[in-house]
Structure 1
Amino acid sequence: MWMQRNMLETNSLADNFELLTLTGQSQNLLQPAEKTLIYFFAPWCSSCKFSMSNLAALSDNINIVAVALDYQNQSEVADFIEDIQVTVPVLLGNSAIASSYKVSAYPSYYVIGADGKVLDRSMGYSSLAGLLWRTR
């Protein structure tokens, strides 16, 4: 719980951002009227590498978006995604979104309700069971 103290508070309104995909397409971070799991990661993060495989198992129940932060260039992110065979949408983040969501460690997770409010948040490795519990 102490690690979450600097994250956005539950019930606070989450900002929506328009970010680029790895193919250069614009995409909104949040989709209207859908619960969304936002997964912030860095390509150098070993915990991210192990936990990202858990995201695919959730994709039937919730909208999932992975947001890359703290990367040198787009190809570094693309190589990371290809290496671990990520199947969820990946967006290229920036310092503005990192600041808005108060991301200070990787991975960081937010569950955003259909109303745009933070339902849950966490940082660090989370098992599939932990992610299922948070996104219920």
Structure 2
Amino acid sequence: MSKIENKKSNWRVWLRDTVIVAVIISAVSLWQSRNMLSSDGSIHIPQQNLVSLTGKVEPMLAENKPNLLYFFAPWCKICSLSIGNLTYLNPDSVNVVVIALDYSSREEVEAFVIEHELNTRVFLGHEALKQQFKIQGYPSYYLVNEDQKISSSVYGYSTAIGLKLREAFGH
């Protein structure tokens, strides 16, 4: 086999393997998010007020721009790995809403925020909110468009690139 044929063969193997990995990742992602709220734009999220970690009652959603809702639990190891990826999002393009669920105390959430050096508002969620968004695991993400309709949902680790693509394309 010549060097050119060998390079073509290597390229085909690499391409085949990349496609297989992409299909597996897509299948796992679809399976994990199968019980989340529909992201076809049919579900409207009403504005609601939540208590922030600072104790203020504030609206959850920003108006006139998309909102990325990031639900986490302070004990979640995947959340610890993924929450830093939120800093890659442009705050002028998308409002990042960080919501703690399944925590045992406010201090536990505060410790998580300090450990990860979060410089964003963090809301203290509650069981009714968890049920409303059908949160079954962490982290869970919902992208809510300007019309306050869900345009994307993801469960599990999301890379900075994945978040930037959702920011850019709205899903």
TM over 0.5, yes or no? yes
**Residue of structure 2 in register with 1:102 after alignment:** 134
**Residue of structure 1 in register with 2:123 after alignment:** 91
CA shift digits 1:46-103 (9 cap, x unpaired): 1101111111110432100100000001010000100110122110000111111111
TM-score if structure 1 supplies the norm length? 0.96
Higher Rg: 2
**Contiguous gaps of at least 5 residues in structure 2:** 1-29
**Residue of structure 2 in register with 1:67 after alignment:** 99
Q: In the aligned structure 2, how far is the partner of 1:3 from the partner of 1:15?
A: 25
Aligned residues: 136
Please state how far the C-alpha of 1:13 moved relative to its aligned partner. Answer: 1.1
**Contiguous gaps of at least 5 residues in structure 1:** none
Structure 2 counterpart of 1:111, which letter?
L
Percent identity among equivalent residues?
37
Please state how far the C-alpha of 1:33 moved relative to its aligned partner. Answer: 1.6
**Residue of structure 2 in register with 1:114 after alignment:** 146
CA shift digits 1:4-25 (9 cap, x unpaired): 1111101111233211111100
**Residue of structure 2 in register with 1:124 after alignment:** 156
Q: In the aligned structure 2, how far is the partner of 1:87 from the partner of 1:17?
A: 22
TM-score if structure 2 supplies the norm length? 0.77
Measured on the aligned residues, the alpha-carbon RMSD in Å equals 1.0
| Bigger helix share | 2
Residue 50 of structure 2 aligns to a residue in which SS? strand
Structure 1 counterpart of 2:100, which letter?
A
Give matches, 1:1-136, under 5 Å.
Answer: 1-10=30-39, 11=41, 12-60=43-91, 61-136=93-168
Structure 1 counterpart of 2:149, which letter?
K
Q: Is the 8 A contact 1:13 1:116 kept in 2?
A: yes
Q: In the aligned structure 2, how far is the partner of 1:51 from the partner of 1:87?
A: 15
Q: Is the 8 A contact 1:56 1:88 kept in 2?
A: no
| Bigger strand share | 1
Q: Is the 8 A contact 1:35 1:112 kept in 2?
A: yes
If asked which structure has higher relative contact order (CA below 8 Å, sep 6+), I would say 1
